Amino acid sequence: MAHNNVAIYPGSFDPITNGHVDLVERTLRVFDRIIIAIATNPGKDSSLFSLEERLQMVRAVFKGFKRRVEAESFEGLLVDYAERKQAQVIIRGLRAVSDFEYEFQMAMMNHHLKPKLETFFMMTGESEFYTSSRLVKEVVSLGGDVSGLVPRNVLTKLIQKFKRKDVENDRARGKNQTN
């Protein structure tokens, strides 16, 4: 086991899916505490949900885990954040072979920057291997049902978000037609 038994699970979590939840729950079998670290890049962020919305959704999903699961945001290099948190392990989920190449490159760069920082790869659960945040957003935006792929609170937020976008688009089309 890791020295202080804290793992960092980084990502955008835009939004968190049941695949993410499954990975966290399984990681808790090995580590005492997990920090879900939501990466931010103010100059490049094109997330559907604001940072605060993502933090709220993640915290709501894991509220029953007491202090074992935390959600925070970070900016800059993941290795520096992990060092500040005194974590020695980064958790990364793999859905398919195609994920491995990118994740392997990132793990090697992180190891180059901080040799004592380890990356643990975990396979996504078999029922979630095809689920991604990007795909969930796309399906909902087209009117599809993603029940069972995201936590209930996230499903509600997704539906609300896309209803608002539909209303805004309708308003914009109305303005364009009158001009």
Q: Is the pTM of this model over 0.75?
A: yes
Q: Hunting for tokens 């509220």 — which residue is that?
A: 63
User: For position 175, what pLDDT does the model report?
Assistant: 62
Q: What is the pLDDT of residue 6?
A: 95
Task: Map 55-84 to HEC letters.
Answer: HHHHHHHCHHHCCCEEEEEEECCHHHHHHH
CATH of region 6-130, choose from 3.10.450.50, 1.10.1040.50, 3.40.50.620, 2.40.50.180: 3.40.50.620
Distance CA 91, CA 25 (A): 12
For 67-81, 128-142, 143-157, 164-178, which range has the lowest pLDDT when averaged over its residues?
A: 164-178
* pLDDT tens digits, 121-142: 998 877 777 788 999 999 999 9
Confidence of residue 163 (pLDDT cuts 50, 70, 90): confident
Q: Which residues are catalytic?
A: 20, 44, 95, 133
Each residue's pLDDT tens digit, 41-78? 776 678 999 999 999 999 999 999 989 999 999 999 99
- Cα separations in angstroms, 42 against 28, 61, 71, 127: 31, 25, 18, 33
pLDDT in the model for residue 2: 43
Domain boundaries, the chain: 6-130
